[in-house]
Amino acid sequence: MIDVIIAGGGPTGMMLAGELRLHGVGVVVLEKDAEPTRQVRSLGLHARSIEILDQRGLLGRFLAHGRRYPGAGHFAGIDRPWPEHLDTAHGYVLGIPQPVTDRLLAEHAAGLGADIRRGSEVAGLQQDPGGVTVDLTDGTKLRARHLVGCDGGHSRVRKLLGVPFPGEPAENEWLRGEMELTAPPEEVKAVVERVRSTQKGFGVGPAGSGLHGVVVPAAGVAEDRAVPPTLEEVKRQLRAIAGTDFGVHSPRWLSRFGDATRQAEHYRVGRVFLAGDAAHVHPPLGGQGLNLGIQDAFNLGWKLAAELSGWAPAGLLDTYHAERHPVAADVLNNTRAQSELMAAGPGPQAVRRLLTELMDFDVVSRFLVGKITAIGIRYDFGGGPDLVGRRLRDMPLARGRLYGLMHRGRGLLLDRTGSLSIRGWEGRVDGVLDGSDELDQPAVLIRPDGHVAWAGADQPGLDAQLLRWFGTPSTGAPTTAR
């Protein structure tokens, strides 16, 4: 029997596969496409996703293929500099095309031993108390202890589960692609500046290798967005919106996307979970979608591994929905707001001008940047200092740096008191007698996903949170003995 089957080999699925393999969990990834897609659905990674890569020792390979854009994240396309001294060591957007992100995460998962099967698609599923049986479109069957649907906005896993997916259907649609053009650069720049003064959903810009990325509003909403537009359709819309088609030709790929906004009511049904676009879809405003999926995987991975390793405390798997559903709901809310602010009517534009002025206030700018980058997230752990429930930024320690201690995907007790014990939890939590001048706490217990579970100096308080997040100690009852 397979430990975990992951349906969908995009960034969410591959991130999850890597997280599970860190803990020795057997993983099979089923990806319906026989070859990796060339479509660029996302252009960058935000601070929290960059932190996640750093926490697992992956950031170097991503930096080698990307470009840093300090303060480049925009809310509703409003161009304002980020506030200084954000609570992150990575105050930039990493510009990197999604196919590259997909490839690097797939290489990471495969390097850890994940079994990636391309050209394989889920057709049906049945679950029982012992596991999940997955039917594939080629007629074969697989059996696993758990199944995770990371198979996109049209998720077959979600539909087979019958999980409601309430929200709003697409009211607007855009055409996009990468193609060559014959118009001179100065003409392209002038036209784009003119059109974007009223059409924020329009853009033409260099995409490398002599190609240009094009995004243009469609004439209407297609019945089936899986059917790509034709080059002639793109040309027609460019002429209608910009007055020129820029001489576009030789497209590398073409696609369409809409502004549907929906969220699954449940992220878990028994032994089956939903993550990434299978759990939530929204307009790509703020560039949050891919990042949200990676962060879903980072939250779920260690919890599912704990369950399969036999030490997960009761209810740990249910915290995945409890923590991640509100985060996605907030993203849906802010993309709805951004959509309204980008509308061309006089009312939305008046509100946009007002918000533009408000963003000159540091507290407003910091709040919105925290939403877009996900560094402002605080999970509700039921009280405690403000630090509890938040993730920690990377920071220097007396010996090295914080994120350098988190590559194995285990919990971490960062203790500068020298009087606290993790005896019985050593295989799940690393204890480090070290601290940082940037951390105003004597000790912190950090979950494998980087969020602070406890802060203080008392052993009974630490023991309670070790039990809550890391289960019963292997050597019996908690003890204060070192």
Domains along the sequence of the chain with CATH? 2-167+262-373 (3.50.50.60), 173-258 (3.30.70.2450), 403-470 (3.40.30.120)
Of 325, 221, 318, give the one whose Cα is nearest residue 263: 325
Question: What pLDDT, on the 0 to 100 scale, is given for residue 207?
Answer: 85
Tens digits of residue pLDDT in 424-434: 999 999 999 98
Assess whether pLDDT exceeds 90 at residue 301: yes
Residue 292 phi, psi (nearest 5) = -60, -40
Of 84, 100, 74, 80, give the one whose Cα is nearest residue 373: 74
Min mean pLDDT across 119-133, 218-232, 254-268 is at 218-232
Question: What pLDDT, on the 0 to 100 scale, is given for residue 480?
Answer: 43
- Measured CA angle at 423 (ends 422, 425), to 5 deg: 70
Question: What pLDDT, on the 0 to 100 scale, is given for residue 343?
Answer: 82
Tens digits of residue pLDDT in 11-30: 999 999 999 999 999 999 99
Assess whether pLDDT exceeds 60 at residue 477: no
Tens digits of residue pLDDT in 57-115: 999 999 999 999 887 668 888 888 889 889 999 999 999 989 999 999 999 999 999 99
Confidence of residue 336 (pLDDT cuts 50, 70, 90): very high
Assess whether pLDDT exceeds 60 at residue 8: yes
Question: What pLDDT, on the 0 to 100 scale, is given for residue 482?
Answer: 31
Q: What integer is the mean pLDDT of 134-138?
A: 96
**Alpha carbon distance 475, 5 (integer Å):** 32
Question: What pLDDT, on the 0 to 100 scale, is given for residue 411?
Answer: 98
Question: What pLDDT, on the 0 to 100 scale, is given for residue 68?
Answer: 93
Question: What pLDDT, on the 0 to 100 scale, is given for residue 244?
Answer: 96
Question: What pLDDT, on the 0 to 100 scale, is given for residue 403?
Answer: 97
Q: Which residues make beta-bridge pairs with 445?
A: 413, 454
Higher pLDDT, 6 or 475: 6
- Measured CA angle at 215 (ends 209, 217), to 5 deg: 160
Percent of the chain with pLDDT over 70: 98
Assess whether pLDDT exceeds 50 at residue 463: yes
Confidence of residue 478 (pLDDT cuts 50, 70, 90): low
Structure-token pair, residue 250:
């030789």
Question: What pLDDT, on the 0 to 100 scale, is given for residue 42?
Answer: 73
Average per-residue pLDDT in the chain? 93
Assess whether pLDDT exceeds 50 at residue 479: no
**Alpha carbon distance 309, 300 (integer Å):** 14
**Which among 206-220, 280-294, 448-462 has the top mean pLDDT?**
448-462
Question: What pLDDT, on the 0 to 100 scale, is given for residue 436?
Answer: 84
Contact between 75 and 364 (Cβ < 8 Å): no
Confidence of residue 481 (pLDDT cuts 50, 70, 90): very low
Question: What pLDDT, on the 0 to 100 scale, is given for residue 339?
Answer: 86
Residue 15 phi, psi (nearest 5) = -65, -45
Beta strands in 295-410 (DSSP E): none
Structure-token pair, residue 159:
């539909």
